[in-house]
Every structure is written in structure tokens, then in C-alpha cells.
Homo-oligomer: A and B are copies of this chain.
Amino acid sequence: MEKVCIYGSGNWGTTAAKIIGENIPKFSGFHQTVNMFVHPEKFNGTELTELINTTNENPKYLPGHKLTSNIHATSDLREALDGVTMLVVVIPHQFLPSSMKAVAALIDTSKLKVISLIKGMYIAKDSIQTTTQAIEAILKVKPSVLSGANIASEIAGHQICESTLGCAFKSESDLWYNLFQTDYFNIQCVTDVYGVELYGALKNVVAVGVGIAEGTGVGNNSKAAILRLGLLEMKKFTLHLFPDTPNDIILQSCGVADLVTSCMGGRNYKLGVEFSKTKKSFDQLEEELLGGQKLQGPATAHEIYLYNKNHNLTEEFPLFTIIYQICYESRDTHDIFKTLHGLRL
């Protein structure tokens, strides 16, 4: 019997709970109660866990969408992890190391199946670490990943979309597929993990770049040229870090589709457009556009630049490099198009 625990209760975590809660009764072999670990907090004076368990709704992070009654919210990690065999990790990435250490201190993780729903990468010393690598370093198991062109609120509203499930093990892949696949949420299974998650981080940098291009007033063909170069640099950078990444992962939802969606009007794209037009600081724009919420695109551009500089790779990635220079070194926005000239990628 598999038993599922969802570690996290934000917008995406609660959406995952909604999907998994709906799917689990369709299959034998799963314990029918799914625990959701909720970081202790109150909402209108009542514990969030109590509200979720009594109303079958997360009023703070996914208001208006009912969960099935088989979802049990708790802020007691020991209770949440009781008997768990499949752990869904979906928390802000800054809390990842401490959270995973808490898990490792409570249970034997050697046979735990883990999936990360977190997009992101980290600079650790002189190397880049993906989210699953960070989890693996603590839990000592190789996690899977789910990443694609999807937004929690759209999925919760049953808007049709896709995601890529990266899992190295066939039988485990089938289990995760059964938990996530629905009529409206289409899962594609691949055996690669690192490429799937790295594309989800790198696409934010390219979206900033396409936004910068848009902000200069060019047409769609010019923007498409920057998007394409971005796609090629995403692929090249991923192959540099993980040479075994299959070539066709870039054509999965986590690659081209997530990038295209982001460049059709995602937040990093919009930030790039406004930065390009106004030259205001990112802090100021994030305050004005997003109430202070920090976006990953500029930060990831900075991290990649530092990595590439340390490894003499800045010229190998002209678009990543120039996006950094425009964002942080006052380089002219129109220079982004210089990356296309004479390109023979």
C-alpha cells in the first residue's frame, strides 16, 4: 500500500492536493487518506489546518476550490509523515533544506519515493544544484520532478494544460502518473529529471529577455528570434551541466511550451517589458507590478552569469550574458539583438 503526503499547502500545493485527492479513489494500492503538511499559521484567527479539514477548502491559498474529504491537513510533521511512502514536495525553495532535514530526522527515507513540484536552481559554492539534487543530498533518494506550462489557479479551475513528469524509474513513474493525470491536466512521462527541472528555471531568464526585446518596440519576428536563441541556450546550458539530458526534452511541456507561455504574458516577461521601457529598478517594478513579490528571472540571470564567468563561459551564452548586462550593468536594451548577428548555432 502506498501512502501519500503532500509537503506544502500554498497555491500549487493545495492544487496538487485537489488533483491527488480526486484521483486516489480511482486506484487500488493507495491508502485513501492523503496527509497535507501545513506550515502553522492562522487565517482570520483560526488555524489554517482546522479550516481546511472542516471546510475542505484552503481559504488563504486556493479560495473557491473544494478539496475532496480524503485530504487531511496537519501541522504536526510526525503525523503528516506517518506511514508515508510517496512524498510530494511543494514549498518555497528557501525553506527546502531545513524542511528536508526535518523529514530525514523523523523517518527512514531509504525507500521513500519523492517528487519535487518546485521550479528553481541554486548556486552552491562553485556549482549549480537543481532542486532534486538538493533534496537528494539530504534524503539520499533520487527524486522525480513535475514541471510544465501550467499555473496552479488555471489547473484548479480545470483549464486544460500539460506538464512533464521526469522520473528515472518506470514503476515509480506509473504511480506518479496515476496521481496527477486528469482529463484537464495531461502528464507526459520522461526518464530525465535534471533537464526537466533546469528548463523550468532557465525559461524565466529568457522570458525577461523577450520582454526586454518587446519593450524596445520591435515586432513579433524579432521577439521570436530572441525566444529561439533563448531556447537554444537553455538546451546548451542544460547539456553543459547534464550531458546525458536527452535532446527531445526541450520539446516537452517543461521546455518549449513553458517558455512560450511565459513569453506570451507571464510575470517575468512583463517585468522585462516594463524594465526595458522605464529603466526603473527591479525592486521598484516588483513593488509596482507585483506588490513586492520577487520574481526569479533577474535573480537567475545573475546566478547564471556568475557561474558562466567563473567557468569562462560568458561568450558561449551570449543571450544569457547580455540579459544580465542589461539588467545589472546598464547595458543598452537594443544590444540584445546583437546576439543574433552572425549567429551560427
Binding site for B on A (CB under 8 A): 149-151, 154, 159-162, 181, 183, 186, 188-189, 218-225, 227-228, 231-232, 235, 247-248, 250-253, 256-258, 260-261, 264-266, 337, 340-345
Contacts and interface: CB of A to CB of B under 8 A. Distances in A.
Contacts of A342: 181, 186
A224 B257 contact: yes
A232 B251 contact: yes
Nearest to A183: B341
Contact of A221 (B159, B256, B341): B159
Contact of A264 (B149, B183, B231, B264): B264
Contacts of A261: 220-221, 223-224
A222 to B, nearest CB: 5
Contacts of A220: 261, 264-266
22 contacts: A151-B219, A154-B221, A159-B219, A160-B222, A160-B225, A161-B219, A161-B221, A162-B228, A162-B340, A186-B225, A186-B340, A186-B342, A186-B343, A220-B265, A223-B261, A224-B258, A228-B251, A228-B253, A228-B257, A228-B260, A231-B251, A250-B251
A183 B183 CA distance: 48
A209 B278 CA distance: 36
A228 B219 CA distance: 22
A251 to B, nearest CB: 6
A228 B256 contact: yes
A221 B151 contact: yes
Given A250-B251, A253-B228, A218 B159 contact: yes
A174 to B, nearest CB: 12
A221 B218 CA distance: 24
A148 to B, nearest CB: 8
Given A232-B251, A251-B231, A186 B221 contact: no
B228 A161 contact: no
A264 B221 CA distance: 9
A150 B221 contact: yes
Q: Counting chain B CB atoms within 10 Å of each CB, which of A154, A186, A252 scores highest?
A: A186
